[in-house]
Amino acid sequence: MLTVIGLMSGTSLDGVDAAVIHTDGERIAGAGPDISLPYAAALRQRARRILDHAPALSPDDPELKAVELEITRHHIDAVRRLHALVPDIDLIGFHGQTILHAPDRRMTWQIGDAAVLSRATGLAVVHDFRSADVSAGGEGAPLAPWFHAALLHDVPGPVAVLNIGGVANVTFIDADHTIHACDTGPGNALLDDWAMRHTGTACDTDGRLARAGTANRAIVERLLADPYFARPAPKSLDRQHFATALDRVAACTPADGAATLAAFTIEAVRRTPLPARPVRWYVCGGGRHNPVLMQGLQAALGVPVMEVDHLGWNGDALEAQCFGFLAARSVRGLPLSAPTITGGPGGLSGGRLTCAGLMPVPAWIYASSRRRP
């Protein structure tokens, strides 16, 4: 078993989540402490501008480099705090910040400097988890299903795990424990942008705005006419894929617009084609704190919908733990790709190892059964 710090900076751009996990990339022996370090509003805005302009940006763009360094600094800070609590860390799993995701153009771009993180912490870092799959023709996402399936190994299927982050993604585990996955559609990102526009807050806290409004069903149907929803899984999304949805609700009152965007997220989940009907849905990600989304999902799905916390999981640390787990998979050469998860070839591993902080490289890395893509 390795003791790994997993790091995630999600599409909501709210900050770094960091968590310690004990794992060999197949089983999970336990979890350690976790923390979240929020980005200040100014950094969120700068990161958001980078994300909005990413398709046209050069990798050497000075503002991109400055934001990348600032984001890396937050990750270093998060690792140092956890390392002080758990001294025997073997490895870091560093997702970075996705600023662009276009698998159809064989492109996925996560910023964050793994060499700087490794040097600053003295730890080996696995990063760039999605590129190998995308290069091989896969979606490069979602990757969390590997972790969800490991956590659910003794839970009878069919069940679904729904992650409501900026984008939402589902892991479906069938009765025979085969895994199917895809991004379902928007998560919180549109609601966050709408709330910022109308209330100046980073999200529709506790669904207060949406609860006061009425969803415009005609607009929801038009939004669901996006070709993404007709595509079969596996499939994945860029955070900005549905950005024009905000124009479609522009004439609504703030409350009705929020209710309509919440209904869009819910209806996209309901219409996601799955191999069988889950008997239960377990929800993780920040969207589970929004009661309008949770109650709407319960009504739409017609089977129990509960927070993953009911399973004893830590719903707020889950993605960070996941990238610790995936780092352990990576150094062991275990698959990160699968035809029914990312659409990439079965058996393909992923992630890149950087040991800039270590001289010599720890022996266990060579002792493990690493197979590089």
Ligand X SMILES: Nc1ncnc2c1ncn2[C@@H]1O[C@H](COP(=O)(O)OP(=O)(O)OP(=O)(O)O)[C@@H](O)[C@H]1O
* CA-based nearest residue to 169, from 181, 152, 154: 181
Segment lying near ligand AH0 (by CB under 6 A), choices 166-174, 211-219, 227-235, 292-300: 166-174
Token pair, residue 58, equals 């050069």
CA distance linking residue 2 with residue 17, whole number of Å? 19
Considering only residues 142, 186, 296, 351, which one is a binding residue for ligand AH0 as defined by CB under 6 A?
142
Please count the CA atoms within 13 angstroms of the CA of 317 that sit on its side-chain side.
20
- Residue from 32, 93, 138, 165 in contact with ligand X (CB under 6 A): 165
- Quote the CA–CA distance of 193 and 176 in Å, as a whole number: 40
Q: Where are the beta strands (DSSP E) in the chain?
A: 2-9, 15-23, 28-38, 91-102, 107-111, 125-127, 159-164, 167-173, 179-186, 280-284, 305-307, 352-354
Instruction: Dig out the tokens for 98 from the structure.
Output: 């996705």
**Choices 6-14, 58-66, 303-311, 335-343; region in contact with ligand X by CB under 6 A:** 6-14
Choose, by CB under 6 A, the member of 183, 192, 256, 316 that binds ligand AH0.
Answer: 183
> Given the complex with ligand AH0, which of 14 and 256 has the nearer CB atom?
14
Residue 290 contact among ligand AH0, ligand X, none, beta carbon within 5 to 8 Å by kind: ligand X
Burial letters for 239-267: b for 16+ Cβ neighbours within 10 Å, e otherwise? Answer: bbbbeebeebbeebebbbbbbbbbbbbbb
86 vs 12: CA distance, rounded Å = 28
Cβ closer to ligand AH0: 252 or 262?
262
**Chain position carrying tokens 């590129």:** 131
Asked if residue 238 binds ligand X (CB under 6 A), the reply is no
Which residues in 224-243 contact ligand AH0 (CB under 6 A)? 236
Q: Distances from the Cα of 65 to the Cαs of 60, 76, 79, in angstroms?
A: 7, 16, 21
Phi, psi of 75 (to 5 degrees): -65, -40
Q: Distance from CA of residue 47 to its chain's centroid?
A: 17
144 binds ligand AH0 (CB under 6 A): yes
Residue 122 Cβ, how far from ligand AH0 at the closest point, in Å? 27
Of 151-159, 184-192, 297-305, 344-352: span binding ligand X (CB under 6 A): 184-192
Tokens matching residue 150: 């490991």
Cβ closest to ligand X, residue 2 vs residue 241: 241
- Phi-psi region for residue 47, left (φ > 0), alpha (ψ -120 to 50) or beta? alpha
Kindly state whether residue 101 participates in binding ligand AH0, applying the rule CB under 6 A: yes
Residue among 40, 36, 162, 16 at smallest CA distance from 97: 16
x-or-dash string of contact with ligand X, 316-335, rule CB under 6 A: ---x----------------
Among 143, 245, 249, 327, binds ligand AH0 (CB under 6 A): 143
Partner interacting with residue 203 (select from ligand X, ligand AH0, none; CB below 5-8 Å by kind): ligand X
> For ligand X, which residue of 205, 310, 346, 361 counts as binding (CB under 6 A)?
205
Positions at the binding site for ATP: 10-17
335 binds ligand AH0 (CB under 6 A): no
From 38-46, 113-121, 161-169, 304-312, give the range in contact with ligand AH0 by CB under 6 A: 161-169
83 and 91 Cβ atoms separated by less than 8 Å: no
Instruction: Mark the segment that binds ligand X (CB under 6 A) among 122-130, 153-161, 263-271, 286-294.
Output: 286-294
The answer to whether 98 contacts ligand AH0 (rule: CB under 6 A) is yes
Token pair for 71: 């984001």
Provide the minimum distance between the beta carbon of 114 and ligand AH0 in the complex, in angstroms, as a whole number. 16
Contact residues for ligand X, defined by CB under 6 A: 8, 10-12, 14, 163, 165-167, 187-188, 192, 203-207, 285-287, 289-290, 319
Contact residues for ligand AH0, defined by CB under 6 A: 10-11, 98, 101, 108, 141-144, 163, 165-167, 169, 183, 236, 319
